[in-house]
Amino acid sequence: MSLWTAQEIIAATGGTASGDFDVNGVAFDSREIEPGHLFVAMPGTAHDGHDFIEKAFANGAVAALVSRDVDVPHIKVEDVPAALEALAKAARARLSEEAVVVGVTGSVGKTSTKEALRAAFERTTGGKAHASVKSYNNHTGVPLSLARMPRETKAAVLEMGMNHAGEIAALTRLVRPHIALVTAIAPAHIENLGSIEAIADAKAEIFEGLEPGGVAIVPEESEQRDRLVAAAKQKTDRVLTFGGKEGDASILYAAAAPQGGSQVTARLPGRTITFTIAMPGDHWLSNALAVLTTVGEARGDVARAGLALAEMAGLKGRGQRLDVDIEGGQVLIIDESYNANPASMAATLKMLGDVEAKRHVAVLGAMKELGEEGPKLHAGLAGPVADAKIALAILVGEEMAPLADALSLTPTEVIHVNDADAAGYALLTAIRPGDAILVKASNSLRLGKVVDQVAGGGA
């Protein structure tokens, strides 16, 4: 069954087609085009998608969504972004009444939780689950994720992010979730929003799109818990919390699993369950509670969802673990290079400290969009670094200077560099067999290059 026919795209967008065709996928990055895809020629400030149509067809596109005359199979519209949004609305509208749509946002853990939910729903729906890919969670990524959603989808998980107030409100009205989940609130984007309360309010916009009778799920232990609950109750009577002793979902027992991760017994709304989490770190206890609560509210098989958590592996840039051979032995690399804020930095440093290793090494990049609080929040990582007994900290970016100063009188050796290339050189020079190495930063620093350098033996 095709994803879209030309006639369906015309009906959704109001465009005109050059001919008849079916497409089995949608992409606006020509590098992601596969045979049978529709290429969405999005305008941009630096590049215009129309300039990449030839490349998209070379990669297998069968049609393009365009706003100018082209010599390939196409649907022409007045406004390509508006047409993509219209296609997204049509994809959401054609889902069956039995399908469940989950919206996920938060300052920390939203992509990892989204992936865990995808894995859980894959098991509980017989493979008919759909989710945002990568971190396609903004004003273009969410419509694209919806437009890619197969018509037979039984469970969809859509991630929503923001840099400014009002952005999630627009996204959630497209997604129209039955369940809206907020993973955590932290001072990410505080430079743009001004306060942690404003961040909570911006994340709480997700509740504005809830379908009638929908469910809101929020973190119990967040300092913004009451603010989130109050916002949710304006849209629904069904508000659940996870975490802590008082949450509707809470951990009764947790212990380290033999192969890493945790063995857990948890109380969920209406049931108690024992399961294993493959991913290490205390933050995954919270993620797991959120996932299983969501699956339960979706009337899915919670036991099957628990099995999915037992089989999850880390994502590239978001917890992937790599055992790398070097001269004289091996090192462990924990790749957290995609995102960073104070809360996630502290959580992953603690996780690193729990890893058995001859030496703990942390490659930490600057945390962005922290505004006036930036120096204080960077310096504040000295405590988590000390608690994790980090032997060597390679700090990347000028924003890390306050942390370098804070660590100067501690046992931690500090190397402070300007960019990813210098960080890679410093790490390759200092690396030793038996090291456990955490690489974590905001994605703009491109510290994934450091992971690739070490994993590739310095290539």
Does the annotation place 113 within a ligand binding site?
A: no
At residue 37, φ and ψ (nearest 5 deg) are: -85, 155
**SS3 of 196, please?**
helix
Q: What is the CATH number of domain 95-311?
A: 3.40.1190.10
Q: What stretch(es) of the chain map to CATH 3.40.1190.10?
A: 95-311
What is the dotted CATH code of the domain comprising 4-80?
3.40.1390.10
320-455 classified as CATH 3.90.190.20: yes
User: What does DSSP say about strands 129-131 and 155-159: parallel, antiparallel, or unpaired?
Assistant: parallel
**Closest alpha carbon to 136 in 148, 144, 128, 147:** 144
pLDDT in tens, 144-165: 999 999 999 999 999 999 888 9
In this structure, what DSSP letter does residue 47 have? -
With a pLDDT cut of 70, the percent of the chain lying above it is 99
| pLDDT at residue 458 greater than cutoff 70 | no
DSSP secondary structure code for residue 224 in this structure: T
Which residues are 219's β-sheet partners?
242
Instruction: Say how far residue 355 (Cα) sits from the centre of its chain.
Output: 24
pLDDT value at residue 457: 53
107 is in an annotated binding site: yes
Our measurement of the distance from residue 260's CA atom to the centroid of its chain's CA atoms, rounded to an integer in Å, reads 22
Residue 459's pLDDT is what? 39
pLDDT at 427 over 70: yes
Q: Where in the chain is the domain with CATH 3.40.1390.10?
A: 4-80
Of 39, 117, 34, nearest in space to 83 by CA = 39
Task: Dig out the tokens for 140 from the structure.
Answer: 């273009």
What the block records as the tokens of 132 is 């945002």
Which tokens sit at 137?
Answer: 């969670």
Residues of the chain with CATH 3.90.190.20: 320-455
Q: Which of 90, 100, 117 is CA-nearest to residue 26?
A: 90
Pairing assessment for the beta strands 271-277 and 262-268 based on DSSP bridges: antiparallel
| DSSP assignment of 170-232 | HHHHHH--SEEEE----STTHHHH-SHHHHHHHHHGGGGGPPTT-EEEEETT-TTHHHHHHHH
- As a whole number of angstroms, the distance between CA 327 and CA 325 comes to 7
Instruction: Please say whether the beta carbons of 296 and 302 come within 8 A.
Output: yes
Q: How many residues does the chain have?
A: 459
Q: Assign 349 to helix, strand or coil.
A: helix
What pLDDT shows up at residue 214? Answer: 98
Q: Which residue stretches of 153-195 are H helix? A: 167-175, 190-193
- Reported as a single tens digit per residue, the pLDDT across 247-286 is 999 999 999 887 678 999 999 999 999 999 988 888 899 9
109 is in an annotated binding site: yes
244 is in an annotated binding site: no
Residue 187 or 246, more confident: 246
110 annotated as ligand-binding: yes
pTM (2 d.p.): 0.81
How many whole angstroms separate alpha carbon 279 and alpha carbon 295? 19
The DSSP output letter for 444 is: G
C-alpha span between 136 and 419 (Å, rounded): 26
Mean pLDDT across 332-338: 91
The pLDDT of residue 451: 93
Helices 283-297 and 110-124 pack at an angle, to 10 degrees, of 40
Average pLDDT of the residues in 121-136: 91
